[in-house]
A = this chain, B = another copy of it.
Amino acid sequence: MAETIVGADSLRAFTQELFARVGVPSADAAIQADVLVWANLRGVDSHGVLRIPWYVELLESGLMKARPNVRVVVETPAVLLIEADHAPGPIVTTRVMEQAIGKAREAGICWALLRNTTHQGALGYYTSQAARAGMAGIAIVCSPPNMAPYGAKAPGLHNSPISIAVPAGRHGRLMLDMATSVAAGGKLQLARDKGLPLPPGWALDRQGNPTTDARQAATLMPMAGPKGSGLALMFECLASLMVGNPLLIDMLHGRETVRRHRQNGIVAAIDIARFTALERYREDADSTVDGLKSLPGADGADEILVPGEWEDRIEADRRAHGIPLPDGTLARIRPVAERLGVSMPW
């Protein structure tokens, strides 16, 4: 697969300009660009600039709003409910996490709920904001169904991801970002693009039969059977039902047959310094990581990695040497850039 190497800065500037052209205020477009390019830097290309054409489509259709009326609906010293009014997910989520970090400094925790947000990109961006501020960060997001509940052969749950990040010392920070499906949707798209088969157990076709043909894959399978299925359902309860905006019901009861893009989410920050000395925390995190990495490796395993470590290495490499964008991705972005009159930086 041919690819082009693009520097992060020029990719960010290009992305910002592109969102500005569809009406997103410049400061907001800068955040949007930073979140997308961050995903590319970390090798999570499925959540990077690949998504630009879809986002532009959502903005032009009105399912995502360039100038939303974001407002606080509920606020206590420790919680927020934000009506996101279909704002671009990265923009509103970055801002709400900043607000949550500020509130957590006072109350020890801030648990912020986002209602009617849109695709947030890589959740680890927001939990990393908390870790940089010396806090633990938690993020969860919910969408309409794309995953079969355990025991079913049709979609009924979303493979709602969760990210948790905490600061370390020498090890920087630990950051988990995982979907509740066996494999994230982006990995199916990648297999489709590469013409590769799927491992068994990843997906069902439209008839509800297990398939290893990426082109036939229609419904994701939950990780660890009832566990991934159960977590996904409880995340919907903690996020969507809590904000009075359930996202599974319409499709489950046949009131909606095509997924209309909308999301609810949670971002939380917990201020470590309220409970223990932050320096001690960082040392304990380092010591835990060192201990884990020194364990005897399983047969066939090269190395024991902790959450986020693999992506940290990709990020170091791509910050130094640029981001490789496959021709397929460039081909998807080009028509949008041309139509909006933004020149491609490659």
A residues touching B (Cβ–Cβ < 8 Å)?
A: 74, 76-79, 81, 106-109, 111, 113, 136, 148-154, 156-157, 164, 166, 174, 176, 178, 182, 208, 223-224, 226-228, 230-231, 233-234, 236-238, 241-244, 246, 248-249, 252-253, 270, 272, 274-277, 280-281, 284-285, 287-288, 290-292, 294-299, 301, 303-307
Contact = CB atoms under 8 A, between A and B. Distances in A.
Contacts of A297: 151-153
B292 A233 contact: yes
Contact of A298 (B152, B242, B252, B274): B152
Q: How many copies, total?
A: 2
Give 6 nearest A-B pairs by CB, closest first: A252-B291, A78-B78, A79-B108, A244-B276, A151-B301, A223-B224
The interface centre, meaning the residue of A157, A244, A303 with most chain B CB atoms within 10 A of its CB, is A244
Nearest to A177: B230
Contacts of A77: 76-78, 107
Nearest to A166: B237
Chain A binding site: helix, strand, loop or mixed by DSSP?
mixed
Contacts of A174: 233-234, 237
Contact of A292 (B78, B242, B252, B281): B252
A137 to B, nearest CB: 10
Given A107-B107, A244-B280, 16 more contacts: A74-B275, A77-B107, A78-B108, A79-B109, A151-B305, A154-B295, A166-B234, A223-B227, A224-B227, A238-B270, A241-B276, A241-B285, A242-B270, A246-B288, A252-B291, A253-B290
